[in-house]
Chains A and B, each alone.
Chain A
Amino acid sequence: MTEQELVRAAAGGDTEAFERLVRTYENKIYHLALRMCGSADEAADIAQEAFLAAWRGLPSFRGEAGFATWLYRLTSNAAIDYLRRQKKQRGDMSLDDEELGLDAVDSGPSPQETAEGSELRSAVAAGLNQLSEGHRQVLVLREIQGLSYEEIASVLELDIGTVKSRISRARSSLRKILLENGNLSGYLPSNLK
């Protein structure tokens, strides 16, 4: 069965077909959720929420964007909802301005990352969590999920020009964080000093 056939079967209520889709995407979706929210426990909940939203939404899924892209969008929405709920609970931040950089996830690398990854990898994971929501989103979708500019534009409902420039700014911000934390020994350009 192709993915398209699985999607069609799942949309018709076939739970076995849907289970195969879950197995195919579970790591990608979990990883995306983990990078978006920074907490392993919450990531599992967000990923589960995204798959359940997919199950409920499949009957009305038109397939224009492709199943994977749609699933990434659901995950991204679930993660954003989670982050907003967190902020709302704190009650101290704007819910809209993703560019403020105030909404960084307060979480370091997981023990798993620290154990199995290099020092730089752990530092990059921690740096990702310090990025703003918008920057983290595009960078995770691009670098970790491997989505093209077009796919990211579709997931986040942005135009491609915005995606390109946001990725560039996200990379720049991440490097700055790593430099400030002493994780990179590179030369800091004058405009970032």
Chain B
Amino acid sequence: MRTCEEYEALISAFIDGALDDDSRGELMVHMAQCPACQAYFDDQIAIHDALEGMEAQAPADFTARVMEQVRREARQPAAPEKAEKKTVTFPYWRRFAAMAACCAVVALAGFWAFGGQPDTGNVAADTAVMDTGRSLTGTEEADAPPAENNASGAADDVQADALPEGSEDTIAPASDEGGEVTGGENTLPPVVSSNNSSPQQDPAVGQNASVEGEEGKSPAMYTAKQNAPVVLTTDSQVAADWVTETLGQTWEAGASYTLTEEQFSQVKALLAENGENFTELTPENGTGAQDSLSAGEENGDSSEEQAAVTYVLQAAP
């Protein structure tokens, strides 16, 4: 014996023409004995008729508006909209920078554990300068392999540079001053120096970090070309589901997920197919590949090496 609620499900299926003969007969018999279900049936038919007759017309100029935009994009593949999409606001990079600082701190701890003594004398001498206005140092640092620094014994110092609150640090196109990293007025003052702090220090999210080497002997200095990341940033639920299902990780705002090239392509195609918004920052469209850290140049460690590209999926904060 079905309940009235179960008969409501049958009525719904009946309206959709999805009820088999047996169930339909059973429903009719029940409604003949149950005024509540009969009333429910009558109301649902009335609602169905009302919904069926509904029709809305798109505005008269709708197609013209859509096509104007489409043609603009078709003419200019790198149209302003797309350029805008490539723009990444700095706070994302600050997170990378903070992660890099964490890694470097761990490396430093390892260095200490194996008997190394950091030189604390030249804290700022070879500071890898961050120019938040035009460089991708956040990326560079995020991918600077701390183990490499550690192995060389020259990852002597880690600094986390705090950005001013409310700073509008948007990464500018590569054409902006060639993306060259320079010191000077754009250099942010270091506010945290790990050689005076605990190796367990966890740089707060929202800070920049830079990896420094000791002046004159900085084999650990790296260039931006090394591990220049390609970063896909999105707040899409599609990406969240993909991360959960494919990586088995929890999607959290602001979190980053390192992907293989294949996975990166897969996610990107998935987002495009579902019309989801995302931004992609590559070394080519940003400034990362051209940039080199000043300290690296000083040591003749120019950007000749082949880039080892890493792929990162970032959950927008």
Contact = CB atoms under 8 A, between A and B. Distances in A.
A102 interface: no
B71 A15 contact: yes
Interface in B43-82: 43-44, 46-48, 50-59, 62-63, 65-67, 69-71, 73-74
The main secondary structure of chain B at its interface with chain A is helix
Nearest to B277: A81
Contacts of A93: none
A56 B44 contact: no
Contacts of B47: 120, 124, 171, 174-175, 178, 184
A121 B58 contact: no
Contacts of A172: 8
Interface residues on A, range: 35 or more
B255 interface: no
A89 to B, nearest CB: 14
Nearest to B43: A186
Contacts of B51: 124, 128, 139, 143-144
B121 interface: no
A27 B66 contact: no
Contact of A143 (B13, B52, B69): B52
A154 interface: no
Interface string A105-129: 0000010110001101101110010
B35 A187 contact: yes
Nearest to A23: B63
Given A118-B50, A149-B18, A186 B69 contact: no
A189 B62 contact: no
B63 A22 contact: yes
B39 interface: yes
Interface stretch (B105-113, B161-169, B192-200, B267-275): B267-275
A143 B55 CA distance: 11
A187 B273 CA distance: 46
A37 to B, nearest CB: 12
A13 interface: yes
Contact of B273 (A13, A61, A118, A142): A61
B74 A186 contact: no
B21 interface: no
Contacts of A113: 54
Contacts of A35: 56
A168 B62 CA distance: 34
Contact of A30 (B57, B69, B74): B57
B275 A175 contact: no
B243 to A, nearest CB: 15
Contacts of B71: 15
B57 A142 contact: no
B54 A47 contact: no
A27 to B, nearest CB: 5
A13 B71 CA distance: 10
A164 interface: yes
| 3 A-B pairs with least C-beta separation | A53-B275, A187-B39, A30-B58
Given A30-B57, A144-B52, 5 more contacts: A31-B54, A43-B56, A51-B66, A55-B70, A167-B12
5 contacts: A19-B63, A19-B67, A27-B55, A48-B65, A164-B18
